[in-house]
Amino acid sequence: MFLLSALVLTLIFLAIGTHVSVALGLVAVGLALLSDGVPTTVIAQTAFKSVNSYPLMAIPMFVLAGNLMMKGQIANIMIELVGSVVRAIKGGLALTVLITSVFFAAISGSSVASAAAIGASTVEGLKRESYPIGFSAALVAVGGTLGLMIPPSLLFILIGSIVGMPVDKLFIAGIVPGLMEAVLLMIATVYLAKRNNYGTNVRRPDWRGFGKRLPAATAALSMPALVLGSIYTGFLTPTEVSAFAAAYAALLGLFVYRSITAGKMWSVAKESLLQTTMIFTVVMGGSLVGFMLARMGVSQQLVSYITDMGMSAWQFLLVVNVVLLILGMFLDGVTLVVLTAPLLFPIAGALGIDPIHFAVIMVANVEIATLTPPIGLNLFVMSGVAKIPVHEVARGVLPFFGVRIIGLMLITYIPSISLVLLR
């Protein structure tokens, strides 16, 4: 009973605009005070250990690496490089944007940062080639979400450290689903461009231009290869790779592309630290709630309730997808994961679902959540970049939404898409 009041209280706190971290924290405190045999000091213990985790340490450094790469001209260089050949087909510029999104997804751990970086340098260009602005903004917003699935991914790090799973395996698991989603999006884009006559400015492939631009882009292009390669071969742990990626991005920015000065470095580092703190506070609040639910035996009861119901794995996955899609409309990605992972993973395990596969399903849901109104961060970002209202971006996203659902279903019901590289 008082669990229900706790839930209602949480929702009220969130609705009145309380910071997610303290809202969750205070609800956990309330549960601790009302339970027997739980001293208040568990709040301090749990809050401390929730951020004192080695896998979590990859987050600040991947954030820093991503932020450094987003500065300056790297997005333009990539778009020109890809565009010089891809624009030979109708809708080519839109495809170029998607391919560049895949590249940014492979260097950045988040979805918003890459959407912002790509959006700034493409929305104008798309407009000139008769793409409606709503479509362009939606395209960048949708492409940005690939950053969550294609490694490195802050979400996988978060899931790995909350549930206690190897982050390197999660990263590897995200590669094929991420590429599959990208291909689905590209097919949809070409179809939409054909049907609506977008991107009429078709050029002949400019291989010479491609060759000329390639050397400048090589340094940036090699970064995803190095990051993925060293994780895939087990050469470095994800946390070590994150430090390496940050250093590499700093070198690129300072010496190769000269997109950043040493003084600017400092402010980017500061910004990255504050973003990390923001993520960690939510992790802290979520862990407190998760701890109390485990301590009160709620997680255990939920597991036996579901298994006693005789629910099969596929039914459970369907329910999870529906619930996450609905929750995802209102919650941001970090909160969604931090709140649901501790409850859902034990059930998935009890039903014999591979936890790595389940983590990929979760990430696919969060990708969609960043695109669904009313709270969809990529919608907000693109509304800011393209200077159009949020609902116009959302309308543009609508056709892609179907594609995402198809992708989600494929990922959910074909486990080998996620697990093939791990066998």
Partner 1 sequence: MFLASTVIMLNEAFGRALLNTSYFWAEETVRYLMVWAFFLTVGAAGSAGYHIRTELLVERLGKRWRQLCHFLSSAIGLSFSAILFYASFPQIYRYYTMGMMTESNLDIPLWVLFLAMPIGAVLYFIYYFSCLWRTLKGEDPFAGGTPIKIDF
Partner 2 sequence: TELVLTSEVATTHWKTRYMNEFAEQVAKRSKGEVKVKIFTAGQLYNDQDALAALGTGAVHMVWPVSVRIETIEPRTGVINLPFAVSDSMMNNSCFMSGLSGLMSSYVEPRNLRILGFLRTADLMFVLRDREVKRMEDLKGMKIRVTGGRVFLETMRSLQISPVSMAASEMSTALAQGAIDGVFTSPAGWAEMIGITGKYGWYVPGFSLTTYSIVVDKGWFDSLPATHRTAIVDAIADISPRQWQEVKAEDDTLIQKMIDQGAVFHVADDQERARWRSLAQKNTSLFSERYDEVIKQFNELGARCGVHN
| Residue ranges in contact with partner 2 by CB under 8 A | 36-39, 41-42, 45, 49, 164-166, 168-169, 233-235, 237, 291, 294-295, 299
CB of 35 to partner 2, least distance (A): 11
Give the CA angle between residues 180, 279, 38 to the nearest 5°. Answer: 115
Q: Say if CB 369 and CB 336 are below 8 A apart.
A: yes
Q: Which two structure tokens, joined as six digits, stand for 220?
A: 């940036």
Any idea what the Cα angle at residue 297 is, between residues 304 and 342, rounded to 5°? 80
Please choose, from the candidates 189, 170, 200, the residue with its C-alpha nearest in 3D space to the C-alpha of residue 100: 189
Q: Judged by CB, which is closer to partner 2: 146, or 173?
A: 173
By CB under 8 A, the residues from 347 to 366 that bind partner 1 are 366
Residue 374 site contact among Na ion, partner 2, partner 1, none (CB < 5 to 8 Å, cut-off depends on kind): partner 1
Q: How far apart are CA 412 and CA 284, in angstroms?
A: 29
Report 66-95 residues binding partner 1 (CB under 8 A): 66
The torsion angles phi and psi of 18, rounded to 5 degrees, stand at -70, 145
Q: Which amino acid is at 412?
A: T
Q: Which of 106, 159, 192, 246 binds partner 1 (CB under 8 A)?
A: 246
Closest alpha carbon to 220 in 142, 85, 84, 106: 106
Helices (H) and strands (E) in the chain, counts: 21, 0
The count of chain residues that interact with Na ion, using the rule CB under 5 A, is 10
Give the residue with the Cβ less far from Na ion, 91 or 238: 238
Q: Does 8 bind partner 1 (CB under 8 A)?
A: no
Q: Give the pair of three-digit tokens for residue 148.
A: 């969550």
Print the binding letters for residues 150-189 with Na ion: x by CB under 5 A, - otherwise: x--x------------------------------------
Q: How far is the CB of 115 from partner 1 (least distance, A)?
A: 10
Of 19 and 203, CB closest to partner 1: 19
List the structure tokens of 346: 């034990």
Q: 3-class DSSP state for residue 311?
A: coil
Closer residue to partner 1 (CB): 26 or 343: 26
233 makes contact, choosing from Na ion, partner 1, partner 2, none, with CB < 5 to 8 Å by partner type, with: partner 2
Sole binder of partner 1 in the list 47, 133, 138, 348 (CB under 8 A): 47
Rg, Å, the chain Cα set: 22
- 172 forms part of the interface with partner 1 (CB under 8 A): no
